[in-house]
C-alpha cells in the first residue's frame, strides 16, 4: 500500500505529540483536582477543629455560620444518638442516626466517604467525634457531591483546554510543514516526469534554504545539461547526415573535376592561347578552388584524412589568394595580403587548413560586397598560429551569432551554411578553435591552430 510522504511525516509526529501533550495535560489536571480537594478538606478540618475545641454549644446559628465558611452541612448528635442541631433549614429530611457512617477523628478524604441522599441531593457523609466534647457526642459532616465534583472540574478544565489547544496547534503546524515539504517534493516529481517526457524545463527553486532547494538546483543543472546534450545530439545527427551526403557527392565531383582539369591542361599544351589570354588559367584556378571545396566535403564526411606535415603558412595563404583572385575581381572586392615578415610553419593537414581558409575568404568576399575590402594574414601567438580573415561587411546577424558554425546555418538567401561548419571542424580536428569578433565596422574571423597537431586517440590518418 502506498503511504504518502505527508502521512509519513504527519502521523508519527502528531501521535508522539498527542501522547506527550495528553500525558502532561492529564497529570496537570490530576494535580489541579487533587489540590482543590485538599483545599476543601483543609477548610473542612479547620471548621471541624474550631467546633471541636469550642466551648459554646452547637446551635443552629453556629452551624449555619460554619456552613457558610466550608460549604458543608453539619448535624450535631448527643451521646444517645439523637439529633440536637442542624444547618439544614428543614430537619425533616434528615434520617435517624446513621450507623453506617464511620466515625473518624480527622477528615482525610471526601471521595472515599460513603454517600447519602437527602432531599434529592447526594452528600459525602463523615461522622467526627470532637475531642473536647463529652464522650458519645458526634458531628455529622455532609458535603454536597455536586459541589465537590464541580470544584474538581473547575480546577481540571483549564489545563485540559490548554492541552487540547496545544495539541490542535501542534497538529496544524505539523500538517502545514508536512504539506509544504510534500508539495515541494511533488513539484520535483512532476519535474522529473517532464524530463522523462523530453521537456527539460527548469523548476522554481522557491525561497527555502534547505536540502530540497539543493535538489531542485541539481535538477535544474541536469535540465540545462540535457538541453545542451539534445542540441549536441541534434547537431551531430545533422552533421552525420551531411557527411553521408557530402561523401557520396564529393567522390563523384572529384572524379569529374579531375577529368575536366586534365582536359583543360591537355588542351592548353596542344593549342596554346594568344599572348595575354588568361582564360584557361582562370578556368584551372576555378577548378582548383572547386577541388578544395570537394576536399573539405570529404574531410567533413571523414572519408579521407591526410597525415599532418610541415608547411609554410604564408605560402598556403598566397595559394588561397591566387585562387580567389578571379572571385575578388568579379565581386569588385579589394584583397589585401599582409605578411608577418618572418616564416611561420605549421605541422598539420595542409589540405584541410587550405580548405578552411578558402571558405573563410569566400565568405568574406560575399560579406564585403562590391567596393568592400578583405584582409588575409597569419599572426603567431606563442605555440599557436592565428590565420585571420577580415572584411568590411556588417558582420553576421545577431540572431545567428551563437549557431554560426553549425551546419545549414546561414543568412544568405542562396547559401547552404557549410563554409563555417567545415572551417570549424578543421579547427577542432587540429585541437584549435574558430572565433570571430566585430569592431569598428570590421569583422574578423580567426582560425587558431597549434603549431604541432596534438595526437588524437583513435584518429585514423590516411595518406592520399
Burial of 270 (0-12, 13-18, 19+ CB in 10 A): exposed
Q: What is the mean pLDDT of residues 177-183?
A: 75
Specify the pLDDT at position 407: 64
Tell me how far apart the alpha carbons of residues 328 and 48 are, in angstroms, rounded to a whole number: 131
Specify the pLDDT at position 462: 35
Task: Calculate the CA 416 to chain-centre distance.
Answer: 41
CA 167-170-174 angle, to 5 degrees, is 140
DSSP one-letter code for 452: B
381-410, pLDDT tens digit by residue? 888 999 999 999 888 877 776 777 776 666
Specify the pLDDT at position 192: 80
Block residue for cell numbers 535540465 = 223
Judged against a pLDDT cut of 60, whether residue 461 lies above it is answered with no
Domains and CATH numbers, the chain: 5-156 (3.30.450), 196-240 (no CATH), 305-464 (3.30.565.10)
Confirm if 174 and 10 have CB atoms less than 8 A apart.
yes
Length of the chain: 464
Half-sphere exposure of 382 (CA within 13 A, CB side): 1
290-329, pLDDT tens digit by residue? 776 666 666 555 545 567 888 999 988 988 888 788 888 8
Specify the pLDDT at position 416: 55
Confirm if 449 and 353 have CB atoms less than 8 A apart.
yes
Specify the pLDDT at position 444: 92
Torsions phi, psi for 334 (to 5 deg): -90, 125
Burial of 425 (0-12, 13-18, 19+ CB in 10 A): buried
C-alpha cell at 333: 572586392
Q: Which residues of 273-290 are buried (b: 16+ CB within 10 A; e: fewer)?
A: eeeeeeeeeebbbebebb
Amino acid at each position: 500500500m502506498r503511504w504518502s510522504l505527508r502521512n509519513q511525516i504527519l502521523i508519527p509526529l502528531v501521535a508522539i505529540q498527542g501522547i506527550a501533550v495528553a500525558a502532561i495535560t492529564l497529570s496537570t489536571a490530576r494535580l489541579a483536582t487533587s489540590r482543590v480537594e485538599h483545599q476543601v478538606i483543609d477548610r473542612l478540618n479547620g471548621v471541624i477543629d474550631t467546633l471541636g475545641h469550642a466551648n459554646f454549644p452547637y446551635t443552629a446559628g453556629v452551624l449555619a455560620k460554619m456552613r457558610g465558611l466550608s460549604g458543608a452541612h453539619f448535624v450535631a448528635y448527643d451521646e444517645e444518638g439523637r439529633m440536637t442541631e442542624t444547618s439544614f433549614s428543614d430537619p425533616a429530611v434528615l434520617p435517624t442516626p446513621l450507623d453506617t457512617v464511620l466515625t473518624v477523628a480527622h477528615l482525610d478524604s471526601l471521595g472515599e466517604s460513603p454517600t447519602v441522599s437527602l432531599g434529592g441531593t447526594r452528600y459525602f457523609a463523615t461522622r467526627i467525634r470532637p475531642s473536647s466534647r463529652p464522650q458519645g457526642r458526634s458531628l455529622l459532616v455532609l458535603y454536597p457531591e455536586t459541589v465537590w465534583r464541580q470544584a474538581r472540574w473547575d480546577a481540571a478544565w483549564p489545563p485540559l483546554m490548554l492541552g487540547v489547544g496545544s495539541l490542535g496547534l501542534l497538529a496544524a503546524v505539523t500538517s502545514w510543514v508536512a504539506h509544504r515539504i510534500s508539495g515541494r517534493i511533488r513539484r520535483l516529481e512532476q519535474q522529473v516526469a517532464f524530463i522523462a517526457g523530453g521537456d527539460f524545463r527548469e523548476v522554481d527553486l522557491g525561497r527555502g534554504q534547505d536540502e530540497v532547494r539543493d535538489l531542485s538546483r541539481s535538477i535544474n543543472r541536469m535540465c540545462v545539461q540535457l538541453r545542451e546534450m539534445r542540441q549536441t545530439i541534434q547537431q551531430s545527427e545533422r552533421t552525420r547526415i551531411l557527411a553521408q551526403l557530402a561523401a557520396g557527392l564529393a567522390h563523384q565531383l572529384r572524379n569529374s573535376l579531375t577529368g575536366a582539369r586534365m582536359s583543360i591542361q591537355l588542351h592548353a599544351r596542344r593549342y596554346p592561347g594568344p599572348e595575354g589570354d588568361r582564360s584557361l588559367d582562370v578556368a584551372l584556378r576555378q577548378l582548383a578552388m572547386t577541388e578544395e571545396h570537394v576536399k573539405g566535403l570529404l574531410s567533413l564526411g571523414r572519408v579521407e584524412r591526410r597525415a599532418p606535415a610541415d608547411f609554410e603558412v604564408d605560402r598556403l595563404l598566397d595559394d588561397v589568394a591566387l585562387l580567389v583572385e578571379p572571385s575578388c575581381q568579379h565581386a569588385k572586392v579589394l584583397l589585401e595580403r599582409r605578411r608577418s615578415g618572418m616564416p611561420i610553419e605549421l605541422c598539420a593537414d595542409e589540405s584541410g587548413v587550405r580548405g578552411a581558409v578558402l571558405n573563410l575568404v569566400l565568405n568574406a568576399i560575399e560579406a564585403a560586397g562590391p567596393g568592400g575590402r578583405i584582409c588575409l594574414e597569419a599572426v603567431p601567438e606563442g605555440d599557436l598560429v592565428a590565420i585571420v580573415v577580415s572584411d568590411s561587411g556588417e558582420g553576421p546577424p545577431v540572431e545567428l551569432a551563437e549557431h554560426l558554425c553549425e551546419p545549414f546555418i546561414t543568412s544568405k538567401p542562396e547559401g547552404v551554411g557549410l563554409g563555417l561548419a567545415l572551417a570549424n571542424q578543421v579547427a577542432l580536428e587540429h585541437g584549435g578553435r574558430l572565433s570571430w569578433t566585430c569592431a569598428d565596422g570590421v569583422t574578423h574571423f580567426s582560425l587558431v591552430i597549434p603549431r604541432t597537431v596534438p595526437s588524437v586517440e583513435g584518429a585514423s590518418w590516411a595518406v592520399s
